[in-house]
Structure 1
Amino acid sequence: MSEHILVVDDDPVQRRLLEAIVQKSGFQSVSAENGEQALAILDQHPSAYFDLIILDLVMPNLDGMGVLQALQKTAIKAPIIVQTAHAGIDTAVNAMRAGAFDFVIKPVAPERLQIAMRNALKVNALEEEITRIRSKSQGSYSFKSIISSSEAMARVLNLGQRAAKSQIPILIEGESGVGKELIAKAIQNASNRANKPFVTVNCGAIPDNLVESILFGHEKGAFTGASEKHTGKFLEANGGTLFLDEVGELPLETQVKLLRALQEGEIDPVGAQKPVKVDFRLISATNKDLIQQVKDGKFREDLYYRLNVFPIRVPPLRDRKDDVPALAKNFLTRFAAEEGRKSLSHITTQALSLLQTYDWPGNIRQLENTVFRAVVLCDGDQLTIEEFPQIASQVSAFSETVVKARAPYPEHLIYTEPMHGIEQQRTGDEIQNVESAVQYSPTLPLSNQDAHNVQTIHASTAPEAPRQQDPWGLLRLLDEHGNIRPLAELEAEIIGRALTHHDYRMSDVARRLGIGRSTLYRKLKDYGLEQEGEASTDEGAKAS
């Protein structure tokens, strides 16, 4: 999925030209013939559906200025590029005052419009990111801050908004990295406790001997080292929300006290003389199957039913791939700004297709780190498939592309070798498709078809003796049957080539191979190469 751009122009020829420029730039276009139709199309879609609007100012009936004024009364925040054949300072100023982002003159050059579109999309993404950062810093993270366009996540957000209106205990389930804490924060800020504390506790990161003290607090002198009184997380969250992340990691002893806190609304600090009343909203999260934990005796059944009053399951990223493009673009905007890469503002359609094809076992956290790495690697003004080699190597439809990017074969390289008396020629591209995956990326898995292709190429191009002039001194890893060659055979071939390359100068050969001369002579004897080595050494001695 790429950005959606609405093109509004009454001239059919100009409209088609704009559509072609938009689509050539990697975006999706929707067209309207006049202002009324444009407003109708915008009304039929969610307010955030269109990322950009290209608007003609001079149109019959409702003109561009009328559309700009109408959009000011809506929730649509998409940047607008206005265009007109009647250039003038007053016209440009009026359009900008009415909310336009940029102003172009007809007929607009494709390069000028592409720059305007990229700049508008970049600024819009930066504004959204600034809004999210400000909301996060101010503790006002809301459901609108969650980037999502998939139906699966729409159901999750709907459940969260319903749960926020009550005090019901919530259990958020989902794999690591799907955004469970963001859902919890959105629920808190949509509830009547929005201005109260939101306290997060990662239950899996607390040592067992400190869990009770950290959660419920302790009195001074309650145990060795307790030099001061500690309030505990429950009291910190008094009046607000307590978020217990990875609640399935709690020890059984602590689960008993948690159950009492939920049932009675009071806690027992370590060393306290009497219980303390607390008022809190509990939201729990887990990446484990708590039902199985109950069956295995690792989680209390009564506590499970107390927590699992209102379950919300957040789907993994592989089940909501429609969210990947928007998430990737958001991460790109953030990391490009953090790394000072002002010109880096776009991800190619092919790269987005790659990201949507991958299953993301690490979910959103993995996608975030992947885009961060791509931003650091990128030398251009857009992220391409070459910036995601680790992902491409695991997706069969893209693995060939990333292999070529890692180690390209010269296109002019020609193999000319006899095959049953016939001269057969193979270009570098033909060999590259199947053999380079073995020579350059031995960690990539080969399908049965690839293995067959490799076997066929070697059977058709290799003479009975091993090739002595492979490009760049490469060695074949597979034999004529498609199997990995024995290590001893490869070592013998390496030593033989080293002897030839260094004209049988044994000191140079040993030094380049990183072994001693005595070891080299022993290996020559083991592999039946000692006669050649000795003969060459004798000839060298006679010549000297």
Structure 2
Amino acid sequence: MQPAIGKILIVDDDPIQRRLLQEAVKKFGHRSKLAEHGAEAVAIMTGPEAADIDLIILDMVMPELDGIGVLTELRRRKIGTPVIVQTAHGGIDTVVSAMNAGAQDFVVKPLSAERLDVSIRNLLKVSALEGEITRFRKQASGTLTFDDIVTRSPGMERVINLGRRAASSNIPILIEGESGVGKELIASAIQGSSERKSKPLVTVNCGAIPDNLVESILFGHEKGAFTGAVDKHVGKFQEAHGGTLFLDEVGELPSDVQVKLLRALQEGEIDPIGGRRPVKVDFRLISATNRRLVDQVKEGAFREDLYYRLNVFPIWIPPLRDRPEDIPILSRHFLARFAAEEGKPQVSGIAPDALDLLQSYRWPGNIRQLQNTIFRAVVLCDGPALTIDDFPQVAAAVDRVVPGHVHSGLSVAPAEPVARAAPSHAEVHTRPAPQPASQAMTPPPVNQEAFRHAAPFGFMRSLDNDGHVRKLVTMEEELIRLAIDHYSGRMTEVAKRLGIGRSTLYRKLKEYGLEEGTNGKEDAA
């Protein structure tokens, strides 16, 4: 199976050659875009379609603007899309000229399909890896911009357009979206696109800080301000002086800290614990939450006046399930990174049916979950491309698997699968004939083997091994275990998703004896 991800621009003045290349690229599992000459190729790569092009196959000999001319123009415009040149003259001088002009590889006419396939896969992988490395470096240095964000989704394009506009001012921004959609990445891009680029971007996960330490961590404290304050501590607001403060999960802030945050926004100054006078701070505030703050305001859990100070410029990031067109390109970038980290250079793509599987799943953990899923698949993979067998949990979640049935292909479940109890004996069989009164109350025999199969990943069994409805207490314990595992022990998230308070969650952990497996585990950022 061939990997299926990239979109390739084919540039050739010969219509027959363009057609042959188009068919070869399609056979390899990629999409294609055609250009009849060099000038058209340059126009495409400098226009709105350029963001969708992953690689260029460029003929060297064309009228007006030849291959060298196209390469020169792309380099002048700082367009780094990888290029494979094709030529009927494979002399060393031709190859050297093409490479010096910016090409990454070359193929000689008549083309070898195998040689072209290997070249395409290698360049796509290298390009993705270079992109990941560039993003890491820019994010670390505070120079990440919206041009570095990997997306092909119209919904994300709207997010990026809003972010670009917000970056040009100091307006407070509230980023909303589910856990794992990339709120911190958008905050980094806003910082890197603003006048504060290269200045500190200080990130605080408000939900991961113990309530008794929130004020000290945010606003700082003086030496001796309280028991244990043996040294002066500079808070996050002062660390972000001149730069940007990013408050993730801002809805988790205690009410007394919300008051101090409101004053910091209104007056541009903070009061460290034990300090004699306020401290002036210059910062740009970006807040984020995976909950609707307006609902927390209605519930009295969040100050209304602070909400209106934070929600001046709202940006909502759509979940991954609403932008499946981003899954292929994100998967390619994660694959390149983890294949390099794990020392598996032979893993260079994703099989088409495996990619279809990934796009069929609803990704409750969004991009963070996709990243971890690709990581696991790379570790499992022994071949040249990731296959369905490398995604067992995803396959179990989206496939309607009949117990004992050999899996032979994909049968995708509805977009929002609803767990159903196994059918009762009366539902499976036709209605029996009327029975005497003495037999009417006798329950029919239960086929116990029908209930011994484990439920697919993401589902819960409603019936026990004897065919009877399971006890609520048993199902509750199982659901809590599943939630803790699914959200990696982040108790704030677990409690929120279960719809209970953290104190209630910890009480239930104690009741079910689950404390041992979670003791000392802090909520992850």
Contact 1:172 1:180 in 2 (8 A): yes
The answer to whether the 8 Å contact 1:164/1:190 transfers is: yes
Match of 1:346 in 2: 349
Partner of 2:379: 376
Provide structure 2 residue ranges, at least 5 long, that are not aligned to the other structure. Answer: 412-417, 431-447, 453-461, 468-525
Does the 8 Å CA contact 1:47/1:75 hold for their aligned counterparts? no
Q: Which residue of 1 aligns with 2:171?
A: 168
State the AA in 2 paired with 1:320: R
Q: 2:38 maps to which residue?
A: 35
| Shift of residue 12, structure 1, vs aligned partner | 3.1
State the distance in 2 between where 1:300 and 1:335 align: 43
Residue 437 of structure 1 corresponds to which residue in structure 2?
none
Q: What displacement does 1:285 show?
A: 1.0
Higher relative contact order by CA 8 Å / sep ≥ 6: 1 or 2? Answer: 2
Counterpart in the other structure of 1:477: 450
* 1:236 corresponds to which of 225, 234, 239: 239
| CA deviations over 1:312-353 (Å, ceiling 9, x no partner) | 111111122221111111111111111011111111222222
The TM-score normalised by the length of structure 1 is: 0.73
1:143 aligns with 2:146: yes
Taking only the aligned residue pairs, the percentage that are identical comes to 62
Aligned match of 1:499:
none
Out of 17, 20, 40, the position equivalent to 1:17 is 20
Q: CA deviation at 1:137?
A: 2.9
Tell me the equivalent position of 1:529.
none
| CA distances 1:85-124 after superposition (whole Å, capped 9, x unpaired) | 2221111111111111112111122111111111121221
Task: Find 2:133's aligned residue among 119, 124, 130.
Answer: 130
Give 1:62 shift.
Answer: 3.1
Alignment partner for residue 196 of structure 1, among 199, 205, 215?
199
Equivalent residues of 1:48, 1:76 under 8 A apart:
no
Match of 1:438 in 2: none
Question: What displacement does 1:75 show?
Answer: 4.1
SS in 1 for 2:374: helix
Structure 1 position 101 matched with structure 2 position 104? yes
Match status 1:327 vs 2:330: yes
Q: Give yes or no for contact 1:47–1:77 (8 Å, CA) kept in 2.
A: no
Residues 266/350 of structure 1: CA separation in 2 closer, same or farther (3 Å cut): same
User: Does the 8 Å contact 2:52/2:152 carry over to 1?
Assistant: no
CA change 1:267–1:33 in 2 (3 A) is: closer
- Structure 1 unaligned residues grouped into runs of 5+: 410-428, 435-443, 457-474, 489-544
Cα distance, 1:286 vs structure 2: 0.9
Q: Distance in 1 between matches of 2:249 and 2:301?
A: 13
Query: Match for residue 221 of structure 1?
Result: 224
C-alpha deviations, 1:511-533, integer Å up to 9, x for none?
xxxxxxxxxxxxxxxxxxxxxxx
SS for the counterpart of 2:57 is strand
Q: How does 1:15-414 map to 2 (within 5 A)?
A: 15-396=18-399, 399=400, 408=406
How far the C-alpha of 1:231 sits from its partner, in A, is 1.8
Amino acid at match of 1:317: L
Q: Deviations over 1:30-70 (max 9, x none)?
A: 22333334334444543332111112222334332232223
CA deviations on 1:472-521 (whole Å, 9 max, x unpaired) are xxx95379xxx989749xxxxxxxxxxxxxxxxxxxxxxxxxxxxxxxxx
Q: Which residue of 2 aligns with 1:539?
A: none
Instruction: Find the residue that maps to 2:382 and give its secondary structure.
Output: coil
Cα distance, 1:87–1:154 mapped onto 2, change above 3 Å: same
Cα RMSD (Å): 3.2
Contact 2:142/2:191 (8 A) holds in 1: no
User: 1:477 touches 1:484 (CA, 8 Å); kept in 2?
Assistant: no
1:86 aligned counterpart, secondary structure? coil
Q: TM-score under structure 2 normalisation?
A: 0.76
Q: What SS does the aligned partner of 2:51 have? A: coil
Question: How far apart are 1:71 and its partner, in Å?
Answer: 2.3
Q: Which residue is equivalent to 1:467?
A: none
Aligned 8 A contact 1:47 1:76 in 2: no
- SS of corresponding position for 1:279: coil
User: For residue 514 of structure 1, what is the aligned residue in structure 2?
Assistant: none
Larger Rg: 1
Match of residue 491 from structure 2: none
